[in-house]
Amino acid sequence: MRDRFGCTSVKDGCAPQGQCGCCTVWVDGKPRVACVTAARRVAGRSVTTLEGMDDELRSRFVEAFRDAGASQCGFCTPGILMRLAALDATSKRDAEAVRTGLLAHLCRCTGWQSIVEAGVRALGGRAPARSERDPLLASWRAQVEGPAFQSSGPAAVMGEGGFASDTAPPGALVALHDAAGVAIGADLCSARRALGKVQGRRSGEPLRHPLDPPEGAWALTLQTTWVEPAYLEPDASWCVPGGTPASPLANGGAFGGKRRSSVGTEARAAADERGAPVLALWTREEVVRRGPKRPPVAVALRSDGSGVMRIARPVGSADLAPMRAAVAEAAPGLVIEEVAVPGPPVAPELRAAGWAEATAAMVARRARAAGTVGPGVPVEVLGRAGGRARVVIAADGAIDVAVWAGEVLDETTLRSYCLGAVHQALGLVWSEGIAVGHDGRVQDLTVRSFGILAARDMPEVRVSVHPSDRLPVNGSDAVFAATAAAAWLAEGLPARWPTRRSPR
Ligand code: FES
Ligand code: FES
């Protein structure tokens, strides 16, 4: 679809795994994931992409998504639009039908709730309409939260956020990177053929917590595992000979996961060697193998707040000094030890890495001392940038979030980031992790292995945004840490995350 017909709305998030839904098209009006649909199976049938959808139907969905803040980076969005717009021709048009349809998809940014609201609204149901939005203010707020440039207009909703895999010059060679090496072809199809079989798999291996807390009588301990940042757009960049590589950060910050990606350098080297423009792409499996993980930690706290945080730092990882500084801010009484363990590289830039865990541990220590462990306990966190959040998880699972982040700029964007932060924090505490063998090799290579919570797994989240006339500051990281702490408290402070592994 992409190579031969130029339909760049059809995204490749995991091909040929068939698990992320980013490549969803219609075959005779029914949604199908293109990456596992052989061309011979659609001979004589009609294939429709977002480009070919009826104008009125497409506009209705695009506007609903834009109004609800249901698209951030926008990489997952065209596939989701195809899935949900197909419901328009059916009698299943309520929130339950939308959540069921979303089971075939992954979105890392939005936390699902705004997508469900937008879907129901576009299908003619009643869901809250959000206010008019100024695109510049929306981008400003996204940049404060991201932190990276992000457009949230109709083009971004259509998947036209400027992804390198879509913007490479026509005729660029394609260099596909995987464990087997790099294969260069005239287009993606020939590069794939040259590379041979790319096998993503889920191992069924148990998650391992690579670090133990030190021996001793501690008031509280916490161990975490290897967590994939799970941005949906695989690393991609293109370059002309002697040129500057296209940024792999097209429309958002990838939660810090691409800050040090080498894909641009690889595009430049291949372009120089071939004397022609080259689009460099990592397969999903390559992203999982080479992309940085959230550093696993082991925390041990005494009742006075002193203690130890051990941080896993495999060979090839980035310098963790920024993470150590963030941990020291959250928990000045912690002695920080880096421990070399076999494993995939880790990076300090991944969303609130270490700081959120240290913050949650300090909140938990105080709650345990006060005898307030359990659901319904309000958790208030002051973010590193000055934003503040209060999160309460009720016994019935509903979550109330209040956020103070200076001048709001665009409430829809801030709310969308808060919903996404809640989703990621719940995933971190409840379900996320990938198996890494004792030899340090990543065992789980499929996007469904990551443990990302599905739309169906998400409780209702109510966000209240509190305006002020102070400069805009990041609020979603405070929401992320407060939610992690509140979720952990609600579970009774078990010593390991994730506390409940999603069956999906
Ligand atoms: S790219 Fe086809 S399902 Fe992920
Ligand atoms: S908007 Fe869904 S993955 Fe970014």
14-73 per-position pLDDT tens digit: 999 999 999 999 999 999 999 999 999 999 999 999 999 999 999 999 999 999 999 999
227 located within any domain: no
Which of 12, 14, 72, 249 to probe ligand 2 with, by most ligand atoms within 8 A of CB?
Answer: 72
Instruction: Count the helix, strand and coil residues of the chain and give each as a percent rounded to the nearest 5.
Output: 35, 15, 50
* Domain count of the fold of the chain: 3
Q: For the residues of 298-338, what is the DSSP string, one character each?
A: EEEE-TTS-EEEEEE--TTPPP-HHHHHHHHHH-TTEEEEE
Q: Is 23 in the pocket of ligand 1 (CB under 6 A)?
A: yes
Residue 25 CA to ligand 2 centre (angstroms) = 17
- Of the candidates 117, 424, 436, 167, the residue with the CA atom closest to the CA atom of residue 281: 167
424 lines ligand 2 (CB under 6 A): no
Q: Is residue 410 part of a domain?
A: yes
Question: Does the C-beta of 72 come closer than 6 Å to ligand 2?
Answer: yes
| Angle at which helices 411-430 and 55-68 cross, to 10° | 80
Q: State how far the Cα of 307 lies from the Cα of 286, in Å rounded to an integer.
A: 37
C-alpha span between 449 and 227 (Å, rounded): 10
For residue 427, give Cα distances in angstroms to 19, 344, 350: 18, 20, 15
Q: Which of ligand 1's atoms lies nearest the C-alpha of 18? A: 3
CATH of the domain at 352: 3.30.365
CA of 251 to the centre of ligand 2 (A): 10
Q: How far apart (Å, rounded) are the C-alpha atoms in residues 145 and 392?
A: 21
211 occurs within a structural domain: no
From first to last of its 504 residues, the chain has per-residue pLDDT tens of 998 899 999 999 999 999 999 999 999 999 999 999 999 999 999 999 999 999 999 999 999 999 999 999 999 999 999 999 999 999 999 999 999 999 999 999 999 999 999 999 999 976 666 667 899 999 999 999 987 888 888 999 999 999 999 999 999 999 999 987 899 999 999 999 998 877 777 788 899 999 999 999 999 999 999 999 999 999 999 999 999 999 999 888 788 889 899 999 999 999 999 999 999 999 999 999 999 999 999 999 999 999 999 999 999 999 999 999 999 999 999 999 999 999 999 999 999 999 999 999 999 999 999 999 999 999 999 999 999 999 999 999 999 999 999 999 999 999 999 999 999 999 999 999 999 999 999 999 999 999 999 999 999 999 999 999 999 999 999 999 999 999 999 999 999 999 997 443
Measured by CA distance, the residue closest to atom 2 of ligand 2 is 107
Same domain, 156 and 174: no
Which of 77, 81, 105 has the most ligand 2 atoms within 8 A of CB, as the residue to mutate? 77
DSSP string, 84-107: HHGGGGSS--SHHHHHHHGGG---
Q: How far is the CA of 289 from the centre of ligand 2 (A)?
A: 21
Among residues 139, 160, 181, the one where a domain terminates is: 160
Contact 407, 469 (CB under 8 A): yes
98 near 87, Cβ under 8 Å? yes
Are residues 306 and 450 part of one domain? yes
Residue 133's pLDDT is what? 85
| 112 CA from centroid of ligand 2 (Å) | 9
Nearest Cα to 480, choosing from 326, 332, 369? 326
CB burial of 293-305 (b: ≥16 within 10 Å; e: otherwise) equals: bbbbbbbbbeeeb
C-alpha torsion angle, residues 38, 44, 48, 53 (rounded to 10): -170
Residue at token pair 């709730």: 113
The answer to whether position 151 is within a domain reads yes
Degrees to nearest 5, angle at CA 438 with 432 and 442: 45
The answer to whether residues 298 and 222 touch, using CB atoms and an 8 Å cutoff, is yes
Cβ 43 vs Cβ 105: under 8 Å: no
Which residues does 299 contact at the CB level (< 8 Å), separation at least 6? 213, 220, 221, 222, 223, 307, 308, 309, 310, 334, 357, 358, 361
Rounded Cα–Cα distance for residues 350 and 256 (Å): 5
User: Could you tell me if 454 and 378 lie in one domain?
Assistant: yes
Q: Which residues pair with 176 in a beta bridge?
A: 183, 281
Q: Tell me if 141 CB under 6 Å of ligand 2.
A: no
pTM over 0.85? The answer is yes
Q: How far is the CA of 47 from the centre of ligand 1 (A)?
A: 16
pLDDT in tens, 185-240: 999 999 999 988 777 777 888 999 999 999 999 999 999 999 999 999 999 999 99
- Quick check: is 228 in a domain? no
Q: Are strands 181-185 and 297-301 parallel, antiparallel or unpaired?
A: unpaired
Ligand 2 atom nearest the C-alpha of 74 is 1
Burial (CB < 10 A; 0-12, 13-18, 19+), residue 41, is exposed
State in Å: Cα 233 to ligand 2 middle. Answer: 9
Same domain, 369 and 466: yes
Residue of 2, 9, 10, 14 best suited for mutating to test ligand 1, as the one with most atoms within 8 Å of CB: 14
Specify whether 250 is located in the same domain as 106.
Answer: no
106 CB less than 6 Å from ligand 1? no
Q: What's the farthest any 2 CA atoms get from each other in the chain?
A: 72
Do 171 and 156 have their domain in common? Answer: no
- From 160, 176, 209, the end of a domain falls on 160
Q: Which pair of structure tokens corresponds to residue 229?
A: 């940042």
Ligand nearest to the CA of 14: 1
Same-domain status, 134 and 185: no
Residue 130 confidence (pLDDT): 64
Domain containing residue 399: 297-490
430 lines ligand 2 (CB under 6 A): no
Residue 182 Cα, ligand 1 centroid: separation in angstroms? 21
Q: Is residue 398 domain-shared with residue 431, that is, in the same domain?
A: yes
Q: Which atom of ligand 1 sits closest to the CA of residue 11?
A: 1
Question: How many angstroms separate the CA atoms of 351 and 227, rounded?
Answer: 11
In a domain, 217, yes or no: no
Are both 349 and 386 inside the same structural domain? Answer: yes
| DSSP strands (E only) in 467-504 | none
Same domain, 305 and 446: yes
Packed helices 411-430 and 135-145: angle between N→C axes, nearest 10 degrees: 30
CB atoms within 10 A of CB 196: 11
Residue 395, classified by CB atoms within 10 Å of its CB into exposed (0-12), middle (13-18) or buried (19+), is exposed
For residues 339 and 313, the answer to whether their CB atoms sit within 8 Å is yes
Pairing of strands 24-27, 30-33: antiparallel
156 and 247 within one domain: no
> Is the CB of residue 232 below 6 angstroms from any atom belonging to ligand 2?
yes
Is 443 a member of any domain? yes
157 lines ligand 2 (CB under 6 A): no
pLDDT (0 to 100) of residue 148: 83
In a domain? residue 469: yes
Q: What is the pLDDT of residue 501?
A: 77
pLDDT for residue 126: 64
**What was the pLDDT predicted at 132?**
77
Q: Please work out whether the CB of residue 420 comes within 6 Å of at least one atom of ligand 2.
A: no
CA distance 398 to 412: 20
DSSP codes, 443-476:
---SGGGG-PPPGGGPPPEEEEEE--SSPP---H
CB distance 110 to ligand 2 below 6 Å: yes
Token pair for 491:
């579970």
DSSP assignment string, 204-251? -PPP----PPPSS--SEEEE---B----SS--EEEE-TTSPPPPS-SS
The CATH number of whichever domain residue 62 belongs to comes to 1.10.150.120
- Residue 481: CA atoms inside 13 Å, Cβ hemisphere, count? 29
Shared domain for 145 and 171, answered yes or no, is no
- Examine the fold and report which residue of 132, 160, 188 is the final residue of a domain before the chain moves on: 160
pLDDT of residue 503: 40
